Amino acid sequence: MPRIVVVSPPFASHAVPLSVLASALRRRGAEVYFACAPAFEELAARAGVAFVPLTVTRNANTGVAQATEQAATEAARLAEFVDATRAGAVETLVTQARHRRADMLADPEAVYAALRAVDGRLRPDWYVVDQLDCAVTLALHCLRAPYATFCPGHPTYVLSGPEALFGVPYDWPEILRPDPAEAARLRAVATDNDRMFSGLFSDFARRVAPEAPAPGRAFGLTSPHAVLYSYPPLPWLPGPPSGPAHLYAGHMTRPVQSPGAAWLRRLDRLRDRSDRVVLVAFGTFLSARDDVLRTVVSGLLDAAGSTAVVVAAGSRAEALADLADEQVVVAPAVPQQEVLPYVDAMVHHGGGNSFTECLRAGVPALVLPMSSDQFAVARDVERMGVGLVLDPNALQPADVAKALDALGESAFSRTARWACEVSGRGPGWGAKRLLEVMGDRVAGR
């Protein structure tokens, strides 16, 4: 069986699903190494694979972005990003585009040197690399090392054609659709970014690997062999580029586990006092929007019937501590995958992990997208009928209450059907198909 190095950026929302894939590849008999920043070594141990310390970017997020120790410049960019989310969708995406060079291609020379050393020491048959890990993709391209691409969020992170632009949603949820002038402003910034990154890629490749093929569009550079998506195969998605095998795994979550005795007691108490239990979580970055979390909790408590709430508040847990009572649990972190089977609905930010975890658990959602691919994910939620979408910056408690009441039997039924659809896929399916495709396409080194 092959020797595979799975390379992850140092962000929990990426490293966790990649470690799940690493574990699934190991169970299929592969010799697997998990390469990530030292703070993520525990994920390799949990996956039962070897660990390779490898830092591929200057910023990081070990679980709660605001609580992660990092350089002052990285913390300042994070604060600017959170502030931009208050100004709306287009301003947030424009800010992210301005940050992209520092976030995604800060030191390609160092990444290339580190990967060349790993390649020389381990001699893997092939790699798995996150599509958003631009520096790693560029390094592997220049090393002429075979790799498969892992797409951690919306499938349009893999550009479908010349008109597609990284950082511009393929479609928008109805309530957040920008006016033409704002949409044009975003496309102009994204086009400039596309040209800049493509020029940087081309210059770097000519300098370090003149014998390698030209990388072409930077954000379009992906494996010529296989792309594994942690997403369901939705019929309306833009057609992916020709060449690689496109494998839609549906989700990349661990086998169902108990949340533990303490959480079970909490959930039992909430269930005893309420008609329904709702989980609220905005991921590892956007829990900083405690203003939206507060509005959501207030609205849920005002909904018809009796509602209990579990809030993953991140670094804002202390600021929201006054909300905690017999019907509200406020915690810095919640074992989301493990708690989802015990709740009736979820309020989330449209992150790919939250979306697919809700699908797998059959839990409908209220989605409040704020950044990145979340607007595209939210649009898919609308089209699938598995939840509702609202504008987080215009949100009122009454909107939340009305939305929760609207998530009735039809949304539950549709979500349950999708749960059945994705139940036959997941990390085991993805690992099996990836091994088959890469085995057929990649010769031994």
Q: How far apart, in whole angstroms, are the C-alpha atoms of residue 28 and residue 31?
A: 9
> In angstroms, what CA-CA distances link 9 with 66, 253, 295, 322?
17, 18, 33, 35
Q: How far apart, in whole angstroms, are the C-alpha atoms of residue 34 and residue 52?
A: 6
Of 110, 182, 103, residue with least CA distance to 139: 110
Contact assessment for residue 436 and residue 247, using Cβ atoms and an 8 Å cutoff: no
Angle (CA) 122 128 133, round 5°:
110
Contact assessment for residue 148 and residue 212, using Cβ atoms and an 8 Å cutoff: no
- The CA-based diameter of the chain, rounded to the nearest angstrom, is 68
Are both 3-69+99-252+426-441 and 261-423 of the same fold?
Answer: yes
User: Tokens representing 246?
Assistant: 């496109």
CATH 3.30.2010.10 for domain 261-423: no
Cβ burial, residue 349 (10 Å; 0-12/13-18/19+): buried
Q: How far apart, in whole angstroms, are the C-alpha atoms of residue 250 and residue 199?
A: 34
| SS3 of residue 417 by DSSP | helix
The pLDDT value recorded for residue 61 is 47
Cβ burial, residue 402 (10 Å; 0-12/13-18/19+): middle
- Neighbour tally for 202: CB within 10 Å: 15
| SS3 of residue 32 by DSSP | strand
- Neighbour tally for 237: CB within 10 Å: 19
Contact assessment for residue 89 and residue 74, using Cβ atoms and an 8 Å cutoff: no
Q: How far apart, in whole angstroms, are the C-alpha atoms of residue 35 and residue 336?
A: 25
Q: How far apart, in whole angstroms, are the C-alpha atoms of residue 139 and residue 115?
A: 7
Tell me the CA end-to-end span of the chain in Å, nearest whole number: 13
Helix (H) or strand (E) holding 80: helix 72-85
The one-digit pLDDT tens for each residue of the chain (445 residues) are 899 999 999 999 999 999 999 999 999 999 999 999 999 999 999 999 999 999 887 555 444 444 444 456 777 888 899 999 999 999 999 999 988 877 778 789 999 999 999 999 999 999 999 999 999 999 999 999 999 999 999 999 999 999 999 999 999 999 999 999 999 999 999 999 999 999 999 999 999 999 999 999 999 999 999 999 999 999 999 999 999 999 999 999 988 899 999 999 999 999 999 999 999 999 878 889 999 999 999 999 998 889 999 999 998 999 999 999 999 999 999 999 999 999 999 999 999 999 999 999 999 999 999 999 999 999 999 999 999 999 999 999 999 999 998 987 778 788 888 888 888 899 999 999 999 999 998 865 5
Position 1, amino acid = M
Give me the residue spans of the domains in the chain. Answer: 3-69+99-252+426-441, 261-423
Could you tell me the fold of the domain covering 3-69+99-252+426-441?
A: Rossmann fold (3.40.50)
Whole-model pTM? 0.93
Q: How far apart, in whole angstroms, are the C-alpha atoms of residue 273 and residue 326?
A: 8
Q: Where are the beta strands (DSSP E) in 352-395?
A: 365-367, 387-389
As beta bridge partners, residue 50 has 33
